[in-house]
């Protein structure tokens, strides 16, 4: 593996780790929506997505089969229901995001006629899948892992965190024009504070 390839893997892992951290910090359906989007992204790297109109389900399920096997029977349909219509027609799940609830009642509970989907357990499984994929990629455990990763990376890259230089007034309000800043008393010098704005690029 070349230094350039290692750098690309590092950049993607770092960018996606931030998304995984956001997922872990959120609770409920919002974290699950971000989770299935992250699976989509990982599936693209795993299978070598380069912009084909079709094949998303196949890529998603291949990744799930390898790294999220326990969820494979339902996770793609669940993703589609949530992402496309914010609905719940797969198995009429009751979603719960409580580690305490899962610890006490387990993950295989049916209540009020509906199976429980443990979001906190899925987030744990997703983190394991994330780490396993990047470990496999670094060790090139499958012959096409690196080439698929590079195909996906070279086709679309990855969003990275950056900042752009912006300034604010002394009250912290972002300024569009430096002339909007107040002057120092009795001087024709603008008083501003450097306040960089975070962006993704």
- 168 near 192, Cβ under 8 Å? yes
Q: State mean pLDDT over 192-200.
A: 82
Give me the residue label for tokens 């609770």.
27
pLDDT tens digits for 1-55?
Answer: 899 999 999 999 999 999 999 999 999 999 999 999 999 999 999 999 998 889 9
Q: Strand, coil or helix: what is 119?
A: helix
Note the pLDDT of residue 129: 98
- 143 pLDDT band, cuts 50/70/90, is confident
Instruction: Evaluate if residue 131 carries a pLDDT over 90.
Output: yes
- The full set of domain ranges for the chain reads 3-156, 161-200
**Which contiguous run of DSSP H or E holds residue 174?**
strand 174-175
Give the dihedral sign, CA 34/40/45/50: negative
Instruction: Evaluate if residue 90 carries a pLDDT over 90.
Output: no
- 95 near 120, Cβ under 8 Å? no
- 96 near 119, Cβ under 8 Å? yes
**Which contiguous run of DSSP H or E holds residue 115?**
strand 114-118
Instruction: Evaluate if residue 121 carries a pLDDT over 80.
Output: yes
- 73 pLDDT band, cuts 50/70/90, is confident
- 41 near 155, Cβ under 8 Å? no
Instruction: Name 170's Cβ contacts closer than 8 Å, sequence gap at least 6.
Output: 182, 191, 192, 193
Q: State mean pLDDT over 139-161.
A: 90
- 119 near 31, Cβ under 8 Å? yes
- 176 near 77, Cβ under 8 Å? no
pTM of the predicted structure, to 2 decimals = 0.84
């Amino acid at each position: 593996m070349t230094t350039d390839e290692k750098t690309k893997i590092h950049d993607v892992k770092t960018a996606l780790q931030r998304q995984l951290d956001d997922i872990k910090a959120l609770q409920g359906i919002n974290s699950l929506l971000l989770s299935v989007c992250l699976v989509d992204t990982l599936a693209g790297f795993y299978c070598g997505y380069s912009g084909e109109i079709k094949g998303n389900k196949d890529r998603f399920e291949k990744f799930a089969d390898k790294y999220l096997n326990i969820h494979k029977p339902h996770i793609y349909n669940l993703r589609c229901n949530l992402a496309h219509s914010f609905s719940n027609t797969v198995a009429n799940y009751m979603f719960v995001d409580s580690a305490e609830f899962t610890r006490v009642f387990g993950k295989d509970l049916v209540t009020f006629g509906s199976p429980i989907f443990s979001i906190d357990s899925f987030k744990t499984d997703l983190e394991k899948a994330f780490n396993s994929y990047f470990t496999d990629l670094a060790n090139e455990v499958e012959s096409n892992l690196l080439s698929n990763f590079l195909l996906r990376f070279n086709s679309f890259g990855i969003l990275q965190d950056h900042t752009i230089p912006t300034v604010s007034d002394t009250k912290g309000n972002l300024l569009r024009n430096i002339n909007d800043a107040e002057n120092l008393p009795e001087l024709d010098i603008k008083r501003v504070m450097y306040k960089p704005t975070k962006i993704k690029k």
